[in-house]
Amino acid sequence: MRKRKATVLLAGLSAAALALAGCANGDGGGDNGDNGDNGGGDGGYHIILVSKGFQHQFWQAVQAGAQEEADAQGVTMDFDGPASETQVDNQLQMLQTAIDSGPDAIGYAALDPEACLPLFDQAEAMDIPIVQFDAACNSEYGNYLAATDGVAAGALAAENMAEELGGEGTIGVVAHSQINSTSIERRDGFIDYMEENHPDIEIVDVQYGDGDHIESADIARAMINANPDLDGLYGTNEGSAIGIVNAISELGIDPGEIAVVGFDSGSAQIEAIQDGSMLGAVTQDPMEIGRLTIRNAIALIEGEELPEFTDTGSFWYDADNIDDEDIRQMIYE
Amino acid sequence: MSEAKTETAPGTPGSGWNWKSWIQQGLAVGTLVMLFAFFSFMNPAFYGWSNISGILLATAGIGIMALGTTFVIATGGIDLSIGTGSTFAAVVVGVFGVNVGLPMWLALIIGVGAGALMGFINGFNVAFLRIPPFIATLAMMMVAQGLALILSDVAPIYFRDTPWFSQIALGNLIPGLPNGVLIMFVLVAISAFVLARTKFGRITLAIGSNVEATRLSGIPTKRWLVMIYTFAGMFTAVAGIVMASRLVSAQPQMGVGLELQAIAAVIIGGTSLMGGRASIVGTLIGALIMSTLINGLRIMGVQSEWQFVASGIVIALAVWVDSLRNRSKST
């Protein structure tokens, strides 16, 4: 472990990486690093997950799910990810380090679907199985993705927004990225659903705030000021949605006057839904993404057939069903 | 406000009547006025007070950071640790005020102290260990980010149990004006006074003009440098607190990347990257130009991609004008 830490340090992540390594080891434990070829069919595998991040509670839930499954199956799991979801370079470094350390399998969530191609070729050449989670690399190799169907999830958000607005009105979209596939799918799924089913609903503006709370709040304020009759705002991830909620409260607009639909959960968003400042949100099942990734990895190591894509599901929740047992399992504080 | 527009060599404090300096100031103010006129013409929603106060609030965090950085840059240094440093200070407030449960006022003081300590270490590394400012503060930037993540356990810390915490940025002591903006204006006044009217300000500019001459004239420049970085660190912490107040939480990944925006604001405002020349009001205007530009483009519904392009061009133009001026001075 020590050696790996040092490498990551040199890669320029210094303290951030230490924090990560700290929490990745916390409950996983164990000696990995030098047990690359302990093949056997009875578990004991070493699987490295390279995530899109680790600070965001979503990724922590993915990690928790993966850890749970890893413990249940008796495999060792390491979890790595860059400090922010814009750091494509850093993430590729981590994937490189993961490949170099020769694990039994790698789980990868692509920040950029093309930049990962050379490393996937390398993994293929070294015969390291790859499974993918959340977002895929455009590679023929390792083409097994466990993720939320983002287009369906965006459409689910649109459906509930349209119902609240009674089929007509104006909506602004605060998305978190122009290049990230989850952001693109949730945006397009939402916009396409509106265009197909609700011609009287107009999307007046789409802006991008990197999922940053303050940036997204500033964007939402500008949208509301530019469009005083705005009926709805849609945030494509947790940070975007919280930014919208903050902007509305900063402007002193009554909660509920503008219908706000968000994504994922987190305690601030849960509270906003409970107190009525948010209509509701679409949640994925991050724990299941983590669990399925580990299951897929083990199946692949043992030579089983895997589907190219498994939808881990998306679910609408609002003040009415937020306390249901099956919803509670998917949202996180 | 003329006392704040200071262009000076060692021994001539406050002799701010250089016409070139006025051109730079005028250009910055003129740019801001033109931006306002243009965006107001394009969309009347732009000059509504609700939007103006939004611009001011968006300026507050970066603006406060930039004020402290103005002093550091005036010495010919740079401070890259202000973005993640502000996050670190906010997390420290969260840890002591929420997790440990100290009274919030005490936690706020500890947070500002943490900012001062970061600045102190920066200054010590620059002045006594002779690490170039770029590297010393780059190192601090990483350390601060790491510590913010470690202390917060990589999760946001919420200040919900202290209702007045959100009032630090969002309350209205002056009706209609968010307190975060008020804090920025008060700090502008204080730092303008310190720069133009105190020994601290004079020595800051003297070090930036010619550190060797300053030292030979009997001023302990190393100790002063440490004090200047420490002073800047406190601004960083206040910026972090204002931003955390706006979010009612300390977000461990909050301030990443803000340092470059703050530095750009300082440079647009006419402070020289070479040191020796600084303007506090210029820094405020520089920060306002950045946030006005982004807000105006958003109000017009311009794509985010073009917002970056426009900001980049404005920064390049501002620094180009600055270099023109330096060239004419040296010939």
Q: What is the pLDDT of residues B199-240, one digit of tens each?
A: 999 999 999 999 999 999 999 999 999 999 999 999 999 999
User: Measured between beta carbons, which residues in chain B are less than 8 angstroms from residue A258?
Assistant: none
* B132-168 pLDDT tens trace: 999 999 999 999 999 999 999 878 898 988 989 989 9
For B322, counting Cβ atoms within 10 Å of its Cβ (0-12 exposed, 13-18 middle, 19+ buried), the class is buried
Mean pLDDT of B278-282: 93
CA distance readout (Å), A262 to A188, A206, B207, B252, B265: 15, 15, 52, 21, 33
pLDDT of amino acid B192: 96
Minimal C-alpha gap between A317 and chain B (Å): 22
Alpha carbons B291 and B294: distance in angstroms, whole number: 5
Average pLDDT, chain B: 88
pLDDT band at A101 (very low <50, low <70, confident <90, very high): confident
State whether residue B156 sits within 8 Å of chain A by CB: yes
* A7 near B CB under 8 A: no
Name the residue among A19, A83, A218 with its Cβ closest to that of B58.
Answer: A218
Does any CB of chain A come closer than 8 Å to the CB of residue B158? yes
Please report, as a single letter, which amino acid is at residue A235: G
Across A281-297, average pLDDT:
94
Do B249 and A268 lie within an 8 Å CB cutoff?
yes
Report the CATH superfamily, name and number, of domain A150-284+320-326.
Response regulator (3.40.50.2300)
- pLDDT for the residue A12: 41
Contact check, Cβ <8 Å, B45/A268: no
Interface of B with A in 239-258 (CB under 8 A): 243, 246-249, 251-254, 256
Q: Which two tokens stand for residue B244?
A: 């955390």
A contact test, residue of B143, B154, B157, B172 with most A CBs within 10 A: B154
A214·B300 Cβ contact <8 A: no
pLDDT classification of B57: cutoffs 50, 70, 90: very high
- A253 interfacial to chain B (CB closer than 8 Å): no
Percentage of chain B beyond pLDDT 70 is 90
Question: Across the interface, do B145 and A207 touch by the CB < 8 Å criterion?
Answer: no
- Regarding predicted confidence, which is higher, A68 or A182? A68
Helices (H), chain B: 19-42, 49-74, 82-94, 104-127, 133-152, 167-170, 179-197, 199-209, 211-216, 221-247, 258-268, 280-299, 304-330
Q: Per-residue confidence at A34, pLDDT binned at 50, 70, 90?
A: very low
Can you tell me the distance from the alpha carbon of B316 to that of A300, in angstroms, rounded to the nearest whole number?
Answer: 52
Q: What are phi and psi of A157, to 5 degrees?
A: -60, -45
At the topology level, CATH places domain A2-148+286-302 in Rossmann fold (3.40.50)
Give the mean pLDDT of B157-182: 91
Task: Say yes or no: do domains A2-148+286-302 and A150-284+320-326 share a fold.
Answer: yes
**Residue contact B146–A205, C-beta within 8 A:** no
| Per-residue model confidence (pLDDT) at position B257 | 83
Q: Which of A93-102, A138-147, B216-225, B249-258 has the lowest mean pLDDT?
A: B249-258
- Interface A-B, measured as beta-carbon pairs within 8 A, has a size of 106
∠ CA A185-A189-A190, nearest 5°, is 120
Domains and CATH numbers, chain B: 2-330 (1.10.3470)
Q: How far is A59 from chain B (nearest CA, A)?
A: 11
Q: Is A124 exposed, middle or buried (0-12, 13-18, 19+ CB in 10 A)?
A: middle
Per CB-CB distance under 8 Å, the chain B contacts of A212 are 254
pLDDT at position B328 is 59
**Mean pLDDT over the full length of chain A:** 85
Tens digit of pLDDT for each residue in B5-27?
444 444 344 444 566 666 766 77
Please compute the mean of the pLDDT values over residues B165-173 and round it to a whole number: 91
% chain A with pLDDT above 90: 63
Nearest to A261 by CA among A277, A275, A278: A278
Closest approach of chain B CAs to the CA of A300, in angstroms?
32
Tokens coding A54: 């680790």
Distance from CA of B209 to the nearest CA of A (A): 34
Give the model confidence (pLDDT) of A1-25 as tens digits: 344 444 434 444 343 433 344 344 3
Nearest CA of chain A to the CA of B246: how many Å? Answer: 8
Structure confidence at residue A30 (pLDDT): 38
Instruction: Provide the 10 A C-beta neighbour count for residue A326.
Output: 10
**For chain A, what are the domain ranges?**
2-148+286-302, 150-284+320-326
Looking at the predicted structure, is the pLDDT value of residue B310 above 60? yes
With contact defined as beta carbons under 8 Å apart, do A104 and A46 qualify?
Answer: yes
Both structure tokens of A127: 């015969």
Q: Token pair for residue B4? A: 């704040």
> What would the mean pLDDT of A306-315 be, rounded to a whole number?
92
Cβ–Cβ < 8 Å for A174, A244: yes
Segment B80-99, tens digit of pLDDT: 999 999 999 999 999 999 99
**d(Cα A317, Cα A328) in Å, to the nearest integer?**
10
Note whether A19 contacts B: Cβ–Cβ < 8 A: yes
Q: Quick one: pLDDT band at residue B4, thresholds 50, 70, 90?
A: very low
Residues of B in contact with A221 (CB under 8 A): 50-51, 54, 58
Give the other-Cβ count within 10 Å of B292's Cβ.
22
How far does the CA of residue B179 sit from the closest CA of chain A (Å)? Answer: 12
**pLDDT of res. A43:** 58
CA distances from B36 to A227, B29, B261, B297, B315 (A): 19, 11, 20, 11, 17
Which tokens belong to A254?
A: 């009554």
Residue in chain B lying closest to A21 (CA) = B150
Left if phi > 0, otherwise alpha if psi is -120 to 50, otherwise beta: which for A46? Answer: beta
- Which residues of chain B does A16 touch, with a Cβ-Cβ cutoff of 8 Å? 142, 145-146, 149
pLDDT, tens only, A242-281 = 999 999 999 999 988 999 999 988 888 999 999 999 999 9
Whether A215 contacts A152, CB under 8 Å: no
